[in-house]
Structure 1
Amino acid sequence: MRYEHLGARPRIHPDAVIAPTAVISGDVTVGAGSQVLHGVVITAEGGPVTLGENVIVMENALVRASAVHPVHIGSHVLVGPMASVAGATIADEVFLATGTRIFNGARIGRRSEVRINAVVHLRTVLPEGSVVPIGWVAVGDPARMLSPDRHDEIWELQQELDFPGFVFGLDRDTPDLMVQLTERYAAALSRHALDRPAD
């Protein structure tokens, strides 16, 4: 299904193929030869999502932009099943394997690979030709690759990246952080109540 959101309709190239169970909402552009498979959700929550040419977004993946963090996915990119891309820039010829998570403000260089269940954290920059191993976490600029058993080091780097501040504009030390975060986010997401089918 295609939905108009905040007055914007998806723009799908006539050579692209969108599965009937995919959901595409708002200011989304899908380039020629791209394939969006079953269960995919691509949603522009106030900022644009752009998919280049010959992009394959596989089953149950999520691609989400916000007003502050648009998404740009270059050409010849494969987004694997159950992967998630939020507010990030992905260059050409990138492979995002099954279950990968790419967070807001991340930039992934051309011909990089993010392997199964790996994470590219908030504001992390992967130079051209980078590889994030299976299940590992890339964090920082320049990116450091850390195995998941190094949680304390990952957390130390993550704190500097300030997820609640960067994504939601909230101070991590706010006593009622989750109350403010969920109320603010729910208010923004409630704008979907006004969506209309665009098919």
Structure 2
Amino acid sequence: MNRRTVMTLIASISLLSGCFWDRYFNLSWEEEVQLHDGRIIVVKLTHTYERLHREFGRYTSAVPRDTELSFDAGGETGRITQLFKGGKPLILDQHEGSWYLVLSVGPYRNSQLLPGQDWGPDQNGNGQHVATLQGGNFKAVSICVLPDWFRKPNFLVRYSNADELSKFDGKLVTLRDTDAYLVNHPLLYGTAYIERPSAQSDLACLNSKKK
């Protein structure tokens, strides 16, 4: 193999390597979220994905990893921005001045060991956790303190792959957009209805509230 052939091969390899996409990327949008009392707030969501393989397809092996949530909590609290490693929000709502968040969490590479990322054990068998806004950050609490009427997700729940969700990148996702998305991606069992720990009329939560 002569020098010219070797140089051509090196140049070709360099050119091909430049065609691969970065390992991590974000899809970010603002989303209308309707609270149980009818109010509509706008939440900014930044979803981080990881490409598991180096490849030409832009989203072929991409898997969701983290979600950053940002919204105006009102009053002196103002804007809250928080990163959830391995998590995605299902419900954000307010009751008697307190903000509640229901998360679906799937830790990866010991992400739960990072500061502020331990949401405790699975509380209802569906990988869901509850947090309340405390001092500018959401912190884990028992699912039993979640108001009874916080039952169904009010976010666009990520079911489809990054390729399909990329159409929302940089845009405002309206309530109508979410409804249209649900036609093709209906909520799955365990997500469509946020279950409490007991299947017997929330018996476990009722007992814990008496303590």
Q: Same fold (TM over 0.5)?
A: no
Classify the TM-score, shorter chain: under 0.3
Q: Which structure would you say has the larger RCO, counting Cα contacts within 8 Å and 6 or more residues apart? A: 2
The structure that has the greater radius of gyration is 2
**If the length of structure 1 is used for normalisation, what is the TM-score?**
0.28
**If the length of structure 2 is used for normalisation, what is the TM-score?**
0.27
Q: Which has the higher helix share?
A: 2
